[in-house]
Every structure is written in C-alpha cells, then in structure tokens.
Structure 1
C-alpha cells in the first residue's frame, strides 16, 4: 500500500480513491438476473443434497482449509479462514459437522455473528485439487462436547467448537480454481514477487 492507502490493482495500476460510477447499470430483480444468466443445467440443480456422501467425506478428510461465511442479525457479513491438519472439520454424522476453534486472533467475529444469526456457509478446499465442497447450514458455538478430546492439537483441547447442522451440501464448479491456477507452483512464486 502507498501513502494514500491504495494497493496494487490488476497489471500493477493503482485504483483511484473513488471510482467514477457513471454508466454503471445495476440488475434490479431476480427475474432480470435469471434472464441474463439463463437457466442452470438440471445436473447443477440436482447435485444439491442434505446428507454427507462418501465423496463429501473424502474431501473433508483431505481438506486442511476452509472459509466460513457468517452474518450478524443486521446482515453484516464476515468470511473467515479456518484450517488445521487435513480432516480438521469432522463429520459427527451424515448431517452434522464440527470444527475446532484453533488458536488465532481471538476476535471471534464468526462466533459473535452465529450467536445472532445461526445461518452459516462453508467452502472446503483441497490443495492441488479443483475439488470445492460447499456446505450451508445452521451453526452453534459449543464450549464443550464429548468430541473435543478427539480434536486436540498437540495435546490441547479446543476451547470452543463450531457445530454445523447441514441444510445443503454440494460440489462447487471448479472453474474459478482452474482459471486462477491457484495451485500452480510457478504462480505462487510469482505472486510472492
């Protein structure tokens, strides 16, 4: 960032402090949006399910990283990275996930949001793979449960855990990972600059 608080943009250009919004044309209705997007293929609609499949469990077992999306009662959103060893998010049964709260910044933004609004979304990624598992459900913050011992890291039990009762789960289209080549080692080195 420079002294004006601007960061680099695509191609290294600096964005203006305030963008000119002349000519911005918003989409104003769900009908207009559907007209622009067209209808989703039935396969895309039919892939949504409510119970973890064996394939879903395999992705969770290989995933060391996820992103948790929450919002407070007023709709203010937060997306928070979550991670640990592969398999850090555990299936308690085919309809429930548990994620330990591992040491971090102690802000607790996601937990505060969940206390006000239990709806949460999760995206799980597997390094080197285009697999993206999306989970939406209702979350609760737990301060203890029998499974806490099994989630200990280096002998330390989590102080809190997130319990997610799954409403829907599905594999997300891998195109964004493929286009970005996020797992390509040469791109990772180039981005470090």
Structure 2
C-alpha cells in the first residue's frame, strides 16, 4: 500500500486568494442552514486580440507596483473588518450605494441601491443588511449572489466627501427577525441581502473633488425625454 503524494505547497496566488474562499458564518442571524460555499475560483480570462499601434499594455503586478509605488502605511492600516463609530455614522446618513456582484464565470454587474437615509440595516458590527425595494424585477444581483457570494459596496452621501467601501459575502434572505426594522411606507421587503463584512475602509475623496460632483454648478439640468429605467 502506498501513501498518497503530499500536497504541493500553496503558491503566492493561492495565499492572496485565501480570503476569497472563506465561507460566511451565521453570526447573530439566527440562521440554521449550512453556510453557502464560495464560488469556485474564476479562471483567468484575459482580453484577446492585438492592440492598436501605439497602445502599451501592463503585463503584471510587478510592473504595476513599480509604476504606482508603495502605498503609505496609513492607506493599508485603515482597512478593518468591523464597523466603527465613523462607519456607523456614515451608514446612518447614507441614502445611496452601488452594489457590485459577479456570477460564477466572473461576469460583473453594478447595481444602484437606495432608500431613506440609514436604509442599510446594521445587524451587528460585522454584518449589514440591505432591503430589496420594488424595481425592475430583473434580480441581476440576486442571481449573481446565488452562485458567487462575493460583493462590494460603495456608499455616497450627497454633499459629503467621505466614501465608504465595504467588501464581503452576501446571502439572499426571504425572512429574518430584522425584517420588521426594514419596513418602509408600510411595506415589508420580500427579500434582503445580508452581508458578512470582510473589509471596510473610507476611501480617499480625491476623485469626488476632481469631478466636482457635489458642486451645483457642475450639474446638468434634466434633459427633455430623460426617464427612469
């Protein structure tokens, strides 16, 4: 009888992806079903075809690091995995966020989410929930999450330069004790996303300053024919 060959040591790539393969727990949610496993790692699918003359493509992370330089320790150290007082304050004032998801093949989608200020429900310092409100019924984000739980959220508050980013793993719920706290205009949501937080950080506001997005003189008047999606 021969012993099985030892497993090959993990490569740097696998180490860098270790966080993405963890599964969500049921911390504080009263859930009894098994945790949803992370989707299989998506194989690399680089863009194909030759580039036009004069285009120079970056060929690896090492080249990127050499070009950008080393980030300041403050930029690295600001990442955390539990909501602090500043995060909670921003969430209580935020009425809009963008929700980024991807399906099992890595096809990405970004969906706007919104409600009254504080529409994001804080379950505990490591978990948030977003109610689903009536919309176009496409359910793109939900469909993606059912096959790949990893999500990214970016919160903006009109007139405020702080940007809150949250990365984590989501599950689609049809009911939970906190659904009663999500009632808006006497409507209880049929669905909600519950997100176990992996990373939180407040993003540099430089892009907001450059864009002038909160300056009224940069706003366009609604064009005739504009309509909601």
Which TM-score bucket, shorter chain as reference?
A: 0.7 to 0.9
Pairs within 5 Å for 1:26-41: 26-41=57-72
* 4+ residue segments displaced more than 4 Å: 190-193
Q: Which runs of 5+ in 2 are unaligned?
A: 1-50, 225-229
TM-score (norm 2): 0.74
Structure 2 partner of 1:110: 141
Structure 1 partner of 2:74: 43
Cα offset, 1:189, TM superposition: 3.4
The answer to whether 1:145 aligns with 2:176 is: yes
Q: Which of the residues 182, 187, 193 maps onto 1:156?
A: 187
Cα offset, 1:24, TM superposition: 1.1
Cα offset, 1:21, TM superposition: 2.7
- RMSD over aligned CA atoms reads 1.4
Q: Which of the residues 64, 71, 91 maps onto 2:122?
A: 91
Structure 1 partner of 2:88: 57
Partner SS, residue 59 of structure 1: helix
Partner SS, residue 177 of structure 1: helix
TM-score (norm 1): 0.87
Kindly tell me the number of residue pairs found equivalent between the two proteins.
174
Alignment partners' CA distance in 1, 2:222 and 2:79: 35
Deviations 1:82-116 (A, max 9, x none): 00000001111000000000111110000000000
Alignment partners' CA distance in 1, 2:201 and 2:65: 21
Structure 2 partner of 1:135: 166
The answer to whether 1:69 aligns with 2:90 is: no
